[in-house]
Structure 1
């Protein structure tokens, strides 16, 4: 079983919550037109794998809090609650949505087109979670993510990640 991850852009958390209440299957479904503009990125979790991409682009070492995301769904658990209440609890079952830090959007948006291949190759070399991928495999994803980040910044929107098991 793999982790499904979709990256998308939205005006704010309220827009995400309102749209996803009725959208089964995530932010990129919706018949002829997806709910949001986004990118399918199976297995590219925001904290580790996307964080490694961000580290490569910035030329820094990866750190666990580099992406700096904030949970949007499910909402923060009530005070005093340690974890999922039961197997139907969305904290246990997902899906989960997190808003990525604005610096992540800007880091990706600022990546020059001419550097995409080199960045994809360095990302492939550092991302142990993508063992079968090389720079040629990852270049289209890097291009899609940077394009999404540019469109988000131009529209004054944030980047989000939808995660489902």
Structure 2
């Protein structure tokens, strides 16, 4: 089974949850991100915590261990701590196969600040990490450009970046 990641930007957390999870809490019942016409990128194998985190570390010029982690938005970690038993007759959102994370504002800004001349070197660094395999260097370069463009549009709109992970 593959894990899919949807990266998108939204004005706020409530909007991100509504788009990614849906108003009824069952993301499988509709294509909220598609219906919302969200500026999004659907990918396989580019997880936010490590793979995108490494791109951010390259873009910011800092060690990967210094990169701030994304924050869990859904399931709500306060309302539904991981491992909490659901009351009888209620399904735990952890069993839904979806998590939603808000990427740090510093990630958005680091990616949005990438100058065109830096893209080829960033792509080469990112292409070389062991956690993912791009089809080729050009695929890595296109992915860098896509993330940089999305980050710039989000920053211009005063919005945040999000990642929904579907298992």
Tell me: CA distance 1:42–1:95, structure 2 relative to 1, closer, same or farther (3 Å): same
Q: How does 1:151-162 map to 2 (within 5 A)?
A: 151-162=153-164
Q: Is the 8 A contact 2:9 2:16 kept in 1?
A: no
TM-score of the pair, normalised by structure 1: 0.84
3-state SS of 2:49 partner: helix
Q: How does 1:73-92 map to 2 (within 5 A)?
A: 73-78=74-79, 83-85=83-85, 88-92=91-95
Unaligned runs of 5+ in 2: none
Q: Is the 8 A contact 2:53 2:64 kept in 1?
A: yes
Residue from 118, 123, 127 that aligns with 1:120:
123
Q: Is the 8 A contact 1:68 1:100 kept in 2?
A: yes
C-alpha distance in structure 2 between counterparts of 1:160 and 1:82, whole Å: 20
Q: Is the 8 A contact 2:48 2:163 kept in 1?
A: yes
Unaligned runs of 5+ in 1: none
TM superposition outliers: structure 1 runs of 4+ over 6 Å: none
Number of residues paired by the alignment?
Answer: 159
Tell me: CA distance 1:122–1:70, structure 2 relative to 1, closer, same or farther (3 Å): same
TM-score of the pair, normalised by structure 2: 0.83
The residue that corresponds to 2:46 in the other structure is 44
Tell me: CA distance 1:141–1:10, structure 2 relative to 1, closer, same or farther (3 Å): same
Task: Please state which structure has a larger fraction of its residues in helix.
Answer: 2
3-state SS of 1:91 partner: helix
Offset from partner CA, 1:116-137 (integer Å, 9 cap, x none): 12111111112x1213544222
Q: Is the 8 A contact 1:120 1:139 kept in 2?
A: yes
C-alpha distance in structure 2 between counterparts of 1:94 and 1:48, whole Å: 20
Q: Is the 8 A contact 2:134 2:140 kept in 1?
A: no
